[in-house]
Amino acid sequence: MSDSTLTKGTRLCKYLAEAGVASRRGASRLIEAGRVCIDGQQASHSDRVLGASLVTLDGEPLCPAQAKAYFLYHKPVGIDCRLRAEDPHSLIHLLPTGLRLFPAGRLDKDSRGLLLLTNDGELTQRLMHPDFHHQKSYLVTLNKAPGSDDIAAIAAGFDYGEGPTRPCRIEPQDALSVRMWLTQGKKRQIRRLWKARGYLVVDLLRESIQTLTLGELGEGQMRALNETERLALLTALDPK
């Protein structure tokens, strides 16, 4: 769609994110795949949505933005964060009905712990973008006792094949476990860091995301954020 009159209105990626379809990054992929149309014409990234526009995804009309929703979920091992209806292990089958929630960041299928589920695309963008340096903490159990040299090397940051990682904080917990605080989230980063030093991660538990923590949330349980948690998170993610 290239109508030059679309000089005002909401940017399409923002509209899709606010409609609860996906994060802005996910919305961009939907547009690139040709799955989004405005008034019957395939949309492009430069398009804007006017009040009278009909936006469709895979031919289905999108509703206006939902009220923002925020849930915490204690993901067990075996649940796939990719929202694929054809996968019986997908997170999509566990989401509350009536809300188009998506995870603000993923945990791989073999890992467990805290996920933030939301339809707030703006918040998701700020939380996931590496430039914002938002902190997440993990309890990592290894197949053998970590050496002090290996801990120091990982904490300092190094290149395991995909560019140098940021420095992180690491504190030993017992003979086989360490707690790690990271401000970036490359794919399977923790597992690959330790593998590069000769270790196997046998258990990976995410304990916190910025101001949010697992607390008493049991494995497999899900609950809505309370107002205090929501405001604290929004304040912490405010780019100012």
In sequence order, the 6+-apart residues with CB closer than 8 A to the CB of 53 are: 9, 38, 39
Which of 175, 108, 95, 90 lies closest to 141, judged by CA? 175
Q: Catalytic annotation on 87? A: no
50-58 long-range Cβ contacts below 8 angstroms, 24+ apart: 50/6, 50/8, 50/9, 51/9, 53/9, 55/12, 55/15, 55/16, 55/19, 57/16, 57/21, 57/30
Q: How far apart are the C-alpha atoms of 189 and 119, rounded to whole Å?
A: 26
End-to-end CA distance of the chain: 34
Catalytic residue among 47, 58, 87, 108: 108
Amino acid at 225: L
| Residues with catalytic function | 108
